[in-house]
Structure 1
Amino acid sequence: MGIEEALSHQSRLDLREELLAANDKFILEIPKVELHVHIEGTLTVDMRWKFTQRNSAKLKLFSNGPEMHSLEEIQAAMQATMPDPTRMNNNEERDIFFESYFEGFQALQTKEDYYDLAMNYFEQAASMNVRYCEPFFDPQGHTSRGVHWDVMMGGFKEAQMEAEERLNIKSGWIMCFLRDSPVESAMEHYKAALPYRDMIVGIGLDSCEEDRPPVLFEEVFTLARRDGFKLTMHCDVDQKDTPEHIRQCLSVVAEGGLDRIDHGLNISDHQNLIDLALKRDLALTICPWSYLRMTTYAQLGPRIRALYDAGIKITINSDDTAFMDDCWILHNMLAAKRLCGFNDGDILVLARNAINVCWALQSVKEKMHQELDMVYNKFYPNQ
């Protein structure tokens, strides 16, 4: 299927159905850990419609676009924004994605909205045997609209507690700063988030990284490390200055480097970055379906495989499901297996990586390892 060029939206949908039809029972059954999912990126058009109707608010796909007056209208508009390699370059796709992504925040206004958004994610994740997750959230995109922290965090907290009790899925939140917002805003939000540190396990950095290197945020990340938070940052794929941003994340920011890197696929292109990542024993949160929108099928598998074969601890995750053809961690693990020629032993390593590098309590990790061993022994009793 057109492996020498980026896949169209329909081709990606066809691939998703083909992967599911294979009925890979091993991947279906293993316990999973998700370390890279944006909770706002799971906001479907159906939820946008539901929330805006509930709140008597206006619904748009873009801030300067027309108001939508039906679910069918926004569904059609959303489909039209899906990347198509015949008409869109990566920068255009990136800009359209961010504009639609952040406009979706407008739908979130009440504690109930935030609860419903988080619970939808937890229910989907639990159905795929996710046992632990660390969702990202972007507080600046909410407080800038007048949403109070207690509204946002209260909704997330209720869903988090219910998910643990009802769905057997534990979680810790990663608060991300918007790197294209002022550094001063990041510090303000860091201080404002401290009352919620019982929920927040890590601090991250996301949004458009063009001309916004990690070192700009040195002060707030150093403070967060000293306060005991785990640290990560996005280093998006094939963007301007991505290798230099990776180098800063590996060895400079927060007095010597971070605890994880989100994406970081470009490490595979540079031996010096591979060596540095191995020296730091730094893990990467890889999201295959996200990259299928921007790179060729033929190129992607070898790049991920190169990271794995080098011994770098990669993990497989979903990113922004509402913008990634409704593909969750299950679809991404199936895609990684196909793209990279992984066998079940490799999938076992990836699952162990995720458990080992997550920021859960050691007792939680040990329980997940035990469950993973049970599933593997079920399929491979003599190994």
Structure 2
Amino acid sequence: MNGLEISSFVAALPKVELHVHIEGTLTPSLRWKLAHRNNVPLPYLTYEALLESYNVLYNHRKEVNGDNGAPTFLETYFAGTQVLCKEEDFYELGMEYLQKAKDMNVRYVEPFFDLQAYLPRGIPAATVLNGYMRAQREGAAKFGVQSNWIMCFIRDEPVEEGIAAYKAARPWAKMEGGKGLFHAVGLASNEYDRPPLLFETGYEMAQRDGLYVTMHCDVDQKDAADHVHEAIFSVCGGKGAQRIDHGLNAVDRPELIAGLKDRGIGLTLCPHAYHRRQKTEVLFPKIRKLWDEGVKFCINSDDPTYMHNIWVDGAMEKVYHYCEMDKSDMVKLARNSVEMSWADEKLKEELLAELDAFEANNC
């Protein structure tokens, strides 16, 4: 991890994670197991070859950077989803992540899921969502990790397909008469020439159902700052998103920093995801600038198994070290995660009280 070891302080810090794609936690071992269980062919003859494939330096944006022959991150990510076929597969994926969360002292999570990765293969929404819902409930009981999930619209697919996926998922939403798996919608996948406002119909439907709205504004993508501007000032009938995922390009324009602060919109930053493409001396001063400007943000992992196996604890360690944060700063970042979350108020109070006690004993 760039020569860093996770400190005992960061390891012990109670955590909340608000930006993790459940498909991006699919470990090579589980992928290998499910591929063989479901008779899904893999382009790797051995498990060692599969492991080696995770060491590739992806071409993150072929449409921006050109084709250098390397696979793109999204090609690899969605290739992994092909082994997920049955309810038990989705359950195992969810449980494996929640076990990992427990091991990292993560108390509460809001994982993203991509229903549109499965419906075109003929996998019913119920297969996916019942598997995740079992993991949500059993993970809370077995590991003590509470979760509320977020359904993503796949933004490089037709809007109407995303709307159809939401309608299929709606019985599992956290709303009157719903089963309570997910409480928000978001945007994910390739945002090249796919600005947030394209999905306004989806946000409106979700808000009418009482759900929250967040959206990815990827880092250094084409029109990145413009997308952040839309997410702050234009979507949701001009009210703006309730959270923005990534959004680091807010540092490019003063009005974006002001808008985030004025509207109380937090950013879910994933430092290692950007560190793969930006030099240390370029990236971390940007994060530090947001901190010094008073923008609220929290630290997360994104897609850890496809990003050098750096999880939320490793992402926090990077900020602790490279942004020259002190221990109280790190506790404040953890508080930001709680305050930015959409957990119920009782759980928030419990988590904040735990952080108060942790700070009193460790800072």
- TM-based fold match above 0.5: yes
- Could you say which residue in structure 1 is the equivalent of 2:246? 263
| Residue in structure 1 matching 2:324, options 335, 338, 341 | 341
Alignment-derived partner of residue 28 in structure 1: 11
Is residue 174 from structure 1 mapped to residue 156 from structure 2 by the alignment? no
Which residue identity is paired with 1:82?
L
What is the aligned partner in structure 2 of residue 53 from structure 1?
36
Judged with a 3 Å threshold, the aligned counterparts in structure 2 of structure 1 residues 216 and 361 are, in CA distance, closer, same or farther, namely same
Question: Retained in 2: the 8 A contact 1:41–1:321?
Answer: yes
SS of residue paired to 1:262? strand
Match of 1:204 in 2: 186
Whose RCO is larger (CA < 8 A, sep 6+)? 1
Identity of aligned residues (%): 41
Separation (CA, whole Å) in 2 of partners of 1:336 and 1:38: 21
Query: 2:210 maps to what in 1?
Result: 228
C-alpha distance 300-90 of structure 1, shift in aligned 2 (>3 A): farther
Deviation at 1:92, TM superposition (A): 5.2
In 2, Cα distance between the equivalents of 1:90 and 1:295?
A: 14
Query: Could you say which residue in structure 2 is the equivalent of 1:82?
Result: 57
Structure 2: how far apart are the matches of 1:109 and 1:293?
31
Which residue is 1:7 aligned to?
Answer: none
What residue is the counterpart of 1:298 in the other structure? 281
Distance in 2, Cα, partners of 1:223 & 1:26: 43
Distance in structure 1 (CA, Å) of the matches to 2:53 and 2:359? 44
Q: Secondary structure at the match of 1:176?
A: strand
In structure 2, C-alpha distance between the alignment counterparts of 1:78 and 1:259, rounded to whole Å:
34
* 1:97–1:206 CA distance, 2 compared to 1 (3 A): same
Q: Secondary structure at the match of 2:107?
A: strand
Residue equivalent to 2:176: none
CA contact (8 A) 1:201 1:229 kept: yes
For residues 329-381 of structure 1, give each alpha carbon's deviation from its aligned partner in whole angstroms, at most 9, with x where no partner exists. Answer: 1000000111111111111111111101100000000000111111111124x
Q: Distance in 1 between matches of 2:362 and 2:190?
A: 43
TM-score (norm 1): 0.89
Q: Secondary structure at the match of 2:268?
A: strand
On the 8 A contact 1:19/1:335 being kept in 2, the answer is no
Aligned residue pairs, count: 352
Residue 255 of structure 2: aligned partner: 272
Whether the aligned pair in 1 keeps the contact of 2:59 and 2:72 (CA below 8 Å) is no
Find the counterpart in structure 1 of residue 86 from structure 2.
110
What is the TM-score of this pair, normalised by structure 2?
0.94
Task: Determine helix, strand or coil for the equivalent of 2:210.
Answer: coil
The alignment's C-alpha RMSD in Å is 1.7
Q: How far off is 1:72 after superposition?
A: 1.6
Q: 1:298-341 CA distances to partner (integer Å, 9 max, x unpaired)?
A: 11110001111111111000000111111111000000111111
- For residue 162 of structure 1, report the CA deviation from its aligned partner: 1.2
Letter of the 1:301 counterpart: F
What pairs up with 1:282-321 in 2 under 5 angstroms? 282-321=265-304
Q: Is 1:140 aligned to residue 116 of structure 2?
A: yes
1:79-104 deviation per Cα after TM superposition (whole angstroms, max 9, x unaligned): 2x22499xxx8565996101011111
CA distance in 2, matches of 1:99, 1:46: 19
The change in CA–CA distance for 1:213 and 1:95 in structure 2 (over 3 A counts) is farther
Aligned to 2:23: 40
> Helix, strand or coil: the match of 1:352?
helix
- Aligned residue type for 1:28: A
1:14–1:238 distance in 2 versus 1, CA, 3 Å: closer
Q: In structure 2, what residue type is equivalent to 1:358?
A: S
In structure 2, what is the Cα distance between the partners aligned to 1:280 and 1:92?
A: 39
1:164 CA drift (Å): 0.6
The change in CA–CA distance for 1:124 and 1:368 in structure 2 (over 3 A counts) is: same
What SS is found at the alignment partner of 1:33?
strand
2:54–2:308 Cα contact (<8 Å) kept: no
